[in-house]
Structure 1
Amino acid sequence: MRDFAPTKRGFVLLLCLLLLPALTGADEGTARRLINAQGCKGCHSLEGSGGNRGPALDGVGRRLTADQIERQLLNPKARNPDSIMPRMTHLSAENLKALVDFLSSRK
């Protein structure tokens, strides 16, 4: 019969699984705060609130890959020269990643 004593690898895996929701929630909270603080909802809607000048952010993860979302955030005029969306180049790498991860999860 096999001994079921915890192994180091098993403990690390369990710890990661337990911390994953907290880490995901923190990034989601950061992304939601950024969406509000950067004024995104002035033009884009999300979950039923916001503007309609730009495309809805609901489902953006179905329409664009994470790389495309990041490029859109950093240089909106590349895809649409008439875009009035400001560049998000002032965001830290961590905030940009949180925003891209959140938006790409909107399926």
Structure 2
Amino acid sequence: MTEVARLPELMSEKRAASILDVSLSTIQRMRKAGKIKAKLIGGRWKYRLDWIKEYLDEADNICESASASVKSANTISRNGQTQTVGAPHGSTLPLDRQSANRLAQATFGTRN
């Protein structure tokens, strides 16, 4: 009896994005940057589950090594003591459209 080789399941870009819980444009950027493997078949990008798992394993390794060496951008170290600089989180209000419009008019002058 001949044995039939079982092919790995291929999934669409939309399904792969859903598995990773990212948007379609995010997975497309990841593919274009070479961060995740994909195969172009019939004009459509296809992904395999093992490629997604491989991406996740690599992403875990990157995060672990990066978190050990990266310091916060809003801190200063003087004589071994860490000091936070800038406004505390939540102390400034985000601009809404109307506020942004008023600020732009004040900065650049009103349109006639």
**TM-score, length-normalised on structure 1?**
0.27
Q: Which has the higher helix share?
A: 1
Q: Over alpha carbons, which structure has the higher Rg?
A: 2
* Higher RCO (CA 8 Å, separation ≥ 6 residues): 1
